Amino acid sequence: MATILKNLSAYDTKRVPKAKDMRFGIVVSEWNEEITKALCLGAVETLMYHKVKAKNITVKYVPGSFELTLGAQFLLDYTDVDAVICLGCVIQGETRHFDFICDAVSNGIMKLTTDYATPVVFGVLTTNSYEQAKDRSGGKHGNKGTEAAITAIKMVALQKELISKYNPS
């Protein structure tokens, strides 16, 4: 319902911090690939629009949304990213599988965020239908990948600001 009132790609560019020297990891689910590729494209284009260098964007793919958490952990453990953006799409089916996957992914991403004290952004569509997913991956409601990229930039900037102000070294 909230998406109907807000376009996921709409934001005030003046309120986005400078991202030139930031480094981002993007982990993308291969499940519902048409949707997740569009989410990834939205995220990468948004990061580059805000001057993130292509060499500072690492994109990795995992089989499904359930694997996003471990993929994000790998990026946190083995690269020098400032934030990780998790992109996936889970569409409601006839069984409770949807509920278990959505719950596991959201809890896993939140746990990584707090365990690593690093922004790990939830860019996972949890929709009732394929059409709703298309609408939110570059369709009439914008692109969740764009929104996730802006969230990542803002969270990295906040962390850097607080570190420099309260923990300068």
Q: Catalogue the active-site residues.
A: 97
> How far, rounded to the nearest angstrom, does the alpha carbon of residue 129 sit from its chain's CA centroid?
20
- Give the side-chain half-sphere CA count within 13 A for 18: 4
The residue among 128, 117, 54 whose CA lies nearest residue 91 is 128
What distance in Å separates the CA atoms of residue 25 and residue 70, rounded to the nearest whole number?
Answer: 13
**Side by side, which strands form the sheet with 83-91?**
57-62, 24-29, 83-91, 120-127
